[in-house]
Structure 1
Amino acid sequence: MTVHGNGLHAFGEQPLPPWRRAVLKVGSSLLAADDGGLTDRFAADLARFVADCRAQGREVVIVSSGAVAAGRGLLHTDAAGLTQRQALAALGQAPMIALWQRLSDVPVAQVLLSHDDVRNRRRYLNARATLRELLRLGALPVVNENDTVAVDELKLGDNDNLAAVVAALVDAEVLLIATDIAGLYSGHPLRDPHARPVPRVDAITAETHRMAAGDAGAIGTGGMRTKLEAASKAAAAGIGTALFCGRDADTVAALSRGTLHGTWIAAHGDRLLARKLWMRHAPAGLHGVEVDAGAAQALGVRGASLLPGGVVEVKGEFGRGDLVEVRLAGDATARVLARGLVQYNATDLRRIVGRHSRDIESILGYRYAESVIHRDDLVVLPQEDAA
């Protein structure tokens, strides 16, 4: 389904909320060439938007479809079986990444994820740490579903939902979904003469899903239905979603100025509230770490991450990604200062207690992160909660 051009004017304009980090999902219909393979016809404008954002001090992670289309272009085949599509995805990954690298003035990093990578806590933290480090290094992460092995996800064609997961993974403030339609309409815009643009959705309901009835066309494997599913997941994580036409250069350029011509699907609640509430109230038992006064002040006053240099002692046994408690060493009241998700298991953490972050790799032979608990994975407890 392709509706663009006058969609810009039909949807008018509305301001995007301020954001520092975004996930941009680009569908196959924006990358696939008419004669097979990939084209930069629309991707060039999207890449220019990403470059403009970077110049403004913002960070963007791309979730890109197109690998299967690229594989089809290499072999000139219309094969559609599951195993065939998996093989085409493997063949198409390289040209898909090459397309984004050609359009980017910074290094492009390929990150392949499956839903298992976010279900498993250890792999979730690995993916989270890798994406954060790539952004810190100034690279452009391009994420795709690991279609070669992700059987169920490939059948669902769920890069829309994967984009919502990635948005939560990197603590993005906004999810931007570029598609070949101007936004959400009250009905199918090519079949319903009474269909009208829906510029804003405050809550996704059964009626909202009825508006999205229809297929994804010959190339895409999702459609408006999966985009609403993704927006619903993002909203639950406190992340708003913008649906817009990635084929309209003016619409894409307007995003750089903070203006949306499309549909805004509002978030509800605080972006980090659910995770913070869980960390605050979940029972963490007796496992945890004791820290010195300097680290305690850095956590409580400056909102800093917990570094190994501030850790005095490790209590109990725990694995990477477990919820642990942070206490002040020598405090007779054993008051809990904070709770958080730890980046190293108890055995490895004991080896780096009191050491500088730069020494982690030389001691352990690897380094997941420079912090023991990253500030985004840590909640400082008020005194009345910590007693």
Structure 2
Amino acid sequence: MTDLPWKRIVVKVGSALIAPHKQGCSSHYLLGIAQFITYCRAQGIQVVLVSSGSVAAGWHHFGEVDKPSVTVKKAMAAAGQADMMATWNKLFDFPTAQLLLTHGDLRNRDRYISIKDTIFSLLEHGLLPIINENDAVTADKLKVGDNDNLSAMLAAAADADTLIICSDVNGLYTQNPHENPDAQLIKQVTEINAEIYAMAGGASSAVGTGGMRAKIQAAKKAISHGIETFIINGFDADSFNQLLKGQNPGTLFTPDEKPMQDHLHWMTHTSQAQGEVIVENDFNISLDIHSEQLTSDDVVAINGDFSAGDTILVRKGDGTKLAKAKSNYSSCLLSFITDQDDREFASEFQQKTGPIISEKNIAILE
């Protein structure tokens, strides 16, 4: 073993590791992960565990069903979550704590800060936070959808320096290794671009909801916050032995040299736009937002129903996404201003009430 450079890590474990055959929880693959977490904690490294698997863990309680309804899947999640926590607790000799979240919790800034505070308090007092999406109650519009992306959001919230995503393959390959024997493992990625996304196929596991593409999306979120990210084979105990030796057992995504500030990262990758402001096609937000404020003269249309303080998407009429930002106006008031034929009135109104968006509350998109 070697001295590890990590101070705080997030480990993401998927459904296929929790309940491989949908016959309840199994410790077969979890034991090695638990030993890895235990060793890290013994070295003074703080650990947050993001664990999928509640639906898969509870599946066997509901008979032989191939395609359960949404309602039944929620019931499976409710039953399976208890089983899953009991399984993890059997593998640890230190206290754990359960956090069940929805995307609605994360995209609300006040609740997001509350989640951060709770995680920090648990870690400070020596507990292992075990976090999952609250599948038993989450409506579709409030779902993150997969725990890969959830783990990246939480890694940012926890100010982690490393995210470890467990997969059913060794990492990112040039092609799907389950279908192409000539597929080559990519050991390190310094930039996530269209070529990297093209290498990621769909979900290869029959149990989980995330695939390699979701893992790449999660890595993109994490590295933009300065968090190094590994995708490793969680079914192979040697993956964790290699990590403990300071080796790379899978694919390492190196963090961006200039990480996003926390509030801009939250706005870009976690907050969900409640509406859209459509601007002229010649509006260059990376230049114009610093030289002159976005005004009603630049606005072509307003889409959606949002309140002052909500996150909005600013895009061109041709569909190009420019930025996510906090709106200082409601959609109703902004529509009223932009619909005015008297442009002098609109200009004076904005001078008195302030800009549509403020420079400090805008995240420019790539």
Please give the TM-score of this superposition, normalised by the length of structure 2: 0.68
Deviation at 1:233, TM superposition (A): 0.6
For these two proteins, the number of residue pairs brought into alignment is: 264
Partner of residue 81, structure 1: 69
Matched, 1:186 2:174: yes
> Which one of the candidate residues 92, 115, 126 is aligned to 2:103?
115
CA distance in structure 1 between the aligned counterparts of 2:212 and 2:48, rounded to whole angstroms: 21
1:149 aligns to 2:137 (yes or no): yes
The answer to whether the aligner puts 1:62 opposite 2:49 as a matched pair is yes
Describe the SS at the equivalent of 1:39. Answer: coil
1:150 shift after superposition: 2.0
Q: 1:38 aligns with which of 22, 25, 29?
A: 25
2:164 aligned partner: 176
Corresponding residue for residue 221 of structure 2: 233
Q: Would you say 1:100 and 2:88 are equivalent positions?
A: yes
Asked whether the equivalents of residues 156 and 221 of structure 1 are also in contact (C-alpha less than 8 Å), the reply is no
SS at match of 2:220: helix
Corresponding residue SS for 2:261: helix
The one-letter amino acid of 1:54's match is R
Q: 1:252 aligns with which of 228, 240, 255?
A: 240
Paired residues of 2:231 and 2:251 also in contact (CA < 8 A): yes
| 1:171, distance to aligned residue in structure 2 (A) | 0.2
Q: Paired residue for 1:379? A: none
Distance, in Å, in 2 between the alignment partners of 1:153 and 1:259 is 40
- Equivalent position to 1:210, from 190, 198, 223: 198
Per-residue deviation, residues 169-202 of structure 1 (Å, max 9, x unmatched): 0100010001111111000112223311110111
Q: After TM superposition, give the deviation of residue 156 of structure 1 in Å.
A: 6.4
Q: Which amino acid aligns with 1:43?
A: L
C-alpha change, 1:277 and 1:84, in structure 2 (3 Å) is closer
Shift in Å, 1:154:
8.3
Please say if 1:160 is aligned against 2:160: no
Q: Is the 8 A contact 1:16 1:259 kept in 2?
A: no
Separation in 2 of the partners of 1:257 and 1:217? 28
**Distance in 2 between the 1:116 and 1:44 partners?**
33
Query: C-alpha offsets along residues 256-310 of structure 1, whole Å, 9 cap, x if unaligned?
Result: 2322210001110345x523889xxxxxxxxxxxxxxxxxxxxxxxxxxxxxxxx
After superposition, the Cα gap between the structure-2 partners of 1:277 and 1:190, relative to the gap in structure 1 and judged at 3 Å, is: closer
Q: Which amino acid aligns with 2:204?
A: A
Contact between 2:18 and 2:53, CA under 8 Å: does it hold in 1? Answer: yes
Aligned to 1:53: 40
Q: TM-score, normalised by structure 1?
A: 0.64
Q: Alpha-carbon deviations, 1:191-215, whole Å to 9, x = none?
A: 2233111101111111111111133
1:42-76 deviation digits (Å, cap 9, x = unpaired): 11100000000011000110000110011102233
Distance of 2:180 and 2:142 partners within structure 1:
31
Q: Which secondary structure state, in structure 2, belongs to the residue aligned with residue 260 of structure 1?
A: coil
Instruction: Check whether the contact 2:144–2:150 (CA below 8 A) recurs between aligned residues.
Output: no
| 1:158 Cα deviation from its structure 2 partner | 1.1
Matched, 1:195 2:200: no
Change in 2 beyond 3 A, CA 1:219/1:183:
same
Q: Which residue of 2 aligns with 1:27?
A: 14
CA contact (8 A) 2:104 2:142 kept: no
The residue number in structure 1 matching 2:334 is none
2:209 pairs with 221, 235, 241, which one?
A: 221
**Counterpart contact for 1:147–1:153, Cα < 8 Å:** no
| Aligned-residue RMSD, C-alpha | 2.3
Report the CA distance shift for 1:47/1:38 in structure 2 as closer, same or farther (over 3 A). same
SS in structure 2 at match of 1:160: helix
Displacement, 1:16? 11
Code of the aligned partner of 2:183: A
Moved over 4 A (4+): 153-156
- Alpha-carbon distance in structure 2 between the residues aligned to 1:81 and 1:26: 25
Query: Alpha-carbon deviation of 1:155?
Result: 7.0
Separation (CA, whole Å) in 1 of partners of 2:141 and 2:27:
26
Amino acid at match of 1:170: A
In the alignment, structure 1 residue 131 sits paired with structure 2 residue 124: no
